[in-house]
A and B are shown apart, each in its own frame.
Chain A
Amino acid sequence: MIAIAQQLVLGVLLGALYGLAAAGLSLVFGVLRVLNVAHGELIMLGGYGAFWLFELGGLDPFLGLAAVIPLAGALGAGLYLGLFRAIVRFDEETRVRTSLLVGFGLALTLHALAVRLFTADERAITTSYASRPLVIGGLVVPLGRFLSLLVAVGLVALLHAFLQRNRWGQAIRAAAEDWEAALLVGIDVRRAYLLAFGLGTALAGAAGTLVAAGYSISPAVGLEWTLKALIVIVLAGLGSAFGTLLGGLVLGCAEALSAASLGGAYREVVGLLLFFCVLVARPQGLFGRA
């Protein structure tokens, strides 16, 4: 019993990162209808950013967030202006399909670039405190991962507040709802799109930092994180930052339970199976607005 509870605790800690990883992808997909399958590679790059800041500059990963988030946002803005701006001109169906292909090419490129620059080695940020355990009622909670959970929840709350209260957040939501109507009432939809894509990438950078701090990264983790984010989006639907976080926690717990019952080797398969079943059962339902 305690073993299962322990697995669940670890599942929740990891699930919060799934939620944060998916929040960025969900924002971009929900607003621009652009499915950026290179999202996992952006997470991977964020992780490397934090890793090198720590390794070369001695910067703590949680302080490093202050540097990684704006850098990732700038990278996202560059990617939007250079690549994805050309796609949002298409109608919705073509948009999704073309963005999938562009994202796919981008993912391959970023992966190859990371192998060139950073080698294929697995890396992790090892702070002095990260593995220090907090023991709560007999359950072990690694301190670093607990901090990551707090940061992930905090960032999702910030995103939610921004989208609800800020003028630009409201502009983003209006552009997501109906870009033509938004344009008619004087909203700068181009800028809302740019902002949403930059924010999505910034969130990927933050997620990557937390992954590097609590787990590990390598150039190859991109695809895995893209799949996790897609699974969470399918489970949680679009349009609610907290819903996405909840979807991440559900996936984390489902994986933990399957690992506890079937053995660790099949934990990934459960998520993928869940994903495929939900997708097939509700082809438009959970994903689209149709």
Chain B
Amino acid sequence: MSPRPLRAGVSPRPRRGVGGAAPTLLALVLVGLGPLVIARQDRLNLGVVFFLAVALAQSWNVMGGLTGQVNLGHAAFFGLGALVTRQLWGGGAPIAPAALAGSAVAAAAGLVIGVAAFRLRGAYFAIGTLAVGEGLRIVIGNLFPEVSTLPAPAIVGYRLTHRYAAAAVLALLATTVVAALEGSRLGLAMAAIREDEAAAEASGVSAFRTKLAAVAISTALAGLAGALFAFYQISYYPQHPFSPTWTFDAVLITFIGGVGTVQGPVLGAALLVLLRDYLTVQWVDVHLLVFGVLFVAIVLLLPGGLVEAAARARALRGRLRGAPAAPGIPRP
């Protein structure tokens, strides 16, 4: 019962130099070159799903990880990006401007909702955004009840490799944004708010402006991920990308990989996508069971996720060899 000294709960401690961003980006580039050696359609589709998961999780990570604002309505911005892109692209616009428009609309919505929701702190922000996301999902379902299918010429011209390349570029972009933020002035302001908002304000960080910057970046990336979804999927219900499962996937991936880190969402996405692909063959939906349990265990026992687990394993191995522990190992 006695209040033990905080084990930081779920708020991630700053992690310096754990691997750095370069190997992560390199790994993404290598996977991105996959179509040069892989021809199997199912493998390439899995690759697109992986990159999409990386992009969405990184976009969530900007808010939820770097800034510590758990946004449970993230699917709304993914969905808006998909909706706008699909409407414009289906109406004859080229895909790139359509995707940028989708991203801009998502970011604009993010700013509007953010201005209201940033009055809420911590868990209240989370459930407030959850309510907004659900509300928007229902409205979109009512306004666009028809399934959205690509026009016939677009289906004829459909090249999976184009989607793969676009997905790889987007995942790289999102990961680079998080890596660039990490050491930047804005990134430090975000970290300060995550750790202690009052202290950050007292030291001259404008919490409101920093959060607005975070929400703009996060939702713009989510909108781009939605645009990729609209570009990739031949046929879907417009309501589908607004489904809370997209938010939940992003949260699971980020936390399991390592919340607030550059490499965490990439690791988490690889694990989730591969395990889901493997498990779904045998048992439908069992992967959610596995990931739900894993998520709870990580929140309670290993707040740094797989990234922290790897760092601890390295430290342990170093100690067993008698070498001094590598620098930058997070203290438990």
Contact = CB atoms under 8 A, between A and B. Distances in A.
Interface in B123-161: 123-124, 126-128, 130-132, 134-135, 138-139, 142
Interface string A220-264: 000100010011000000000000000000000000000000000
Interface stretch (A53-61, A94-102, A161-169): A94-102
B126 A100 contact: yes
Contacts of A89: 1-4
Interface residues of B, number: 47
Interface in B265-293: 283-286, 288-289, 291-293
A105 B289 CA distance: 9
A184 to B, nearest CB: 12
Given A102-B299, A109-B288, A190 B122 contact: no
B6 interface: yes
Contacts of B3: 89-91
A283 B127 CA distance: 12
A265 to B, nearest CB: 4
Interface stretch (A4-12, A122-130, A145-153, A268-276): A268-276
A111 B252 CA distance: 15
Nearest to A88: B1
B128 A108 contact: no
B127 A112 contact: no
A181 to B, nearest CB: 13
A153 B144 CA distance: 40
A94 B288 CA distance: 26
A101 B255 contact: yes
A97 B127 CA distance: 11
B1 A190 contact: yes
A83 interface: yes
A105 B1 contact: no
A266 B142 contact: yes
A83 B70 contact: no
B120 A272 contact: no
Interface in A127-165: none
Interface in B236-280: 244, 248, 251-252, 255
A116 B283 contact: yes
B248 A108 contact: yes
B251 A283 contact: no
A272 B128 contact: no
B132 A276 contact: yes
A100 B70 contact: yes
Contact of B132 (A35, A190, A272): A272
Contacts of A97: 9-11, 70, 122-123, 126
B209 interface: no
Contacts of A273: 135
A98 B299 contact: yes
Nearest to B291: A108
**Taking each of A105, A111, A283, which has the highest tally of chain B beta carbons within 10 Å of its own beta carbon?**
A105
Contacts of B120: 279-280, 283
Contacts, number: 138
B4 to A, nearest CB: 5
A86 B251 CA distance: 21
B33 interface: no
A230 B123 CA distance: 12
A113 interface: yes
A230 B122 contact: no
A197 interface: no
B119 interface: yes
B296 A102 contact: yes
A268 B136 CA distance: 11
B10 A37 contact: no
A112 B286 contact: yes
B16 interface: no
Given A90-B9, A113-B289, A283-B120, A101 B130 contact: no
A115 interface: yes
B116 interface: yes
A94 B138 contact: no
A108 B122 contact: no
B73 to A, nearest CB: 10
Nearest to A183: B1
A80 interface: no
A106 B289 contact: no
Contacts of A107: 292
B285 A227 contact: no
B68 to A, nearest CB: 9
Given A86-B300, A272-B135, A115 B121 contact: no
B138 A116 contact: no
B253 to A, nearest CB: 13
Top 7 nearest A-B pairs by Cβ distance?
Answer: A109-B292, A112-B288, A94-B9, A108-B292, A105-B296, A105-B295, A272-B135
Interface of B: 1-4, 6, 9-11, 70, 72, 116-117, 119-124, 126-128, 130-132, 134-135, 138-139, 142, 244, 248, 251-252, 255, 283-286, 288-289, 291-293, 295-296, 299-300
14 contacts: A89-B1, A91-B3, A93-B121, A94-B9, A108-B288, A109-B289, A109-B296, A266-B138, A266-B142, A268-B135, A275-B128, A276-B116, A276-B131, A280-B117
Given A99-B123, A276-B131, 4 more contacts: A89-B4, A105-B296, A266-B139, A283-B120
Interface of A: 35, 37, 83, 86-91, 93-94, 96-102, 104-113, 115-116, 179, 183, 189-190, 223, 227, 230-231, 265-266, 268-269, 272-273, 275-276, 279-280, 283, 287
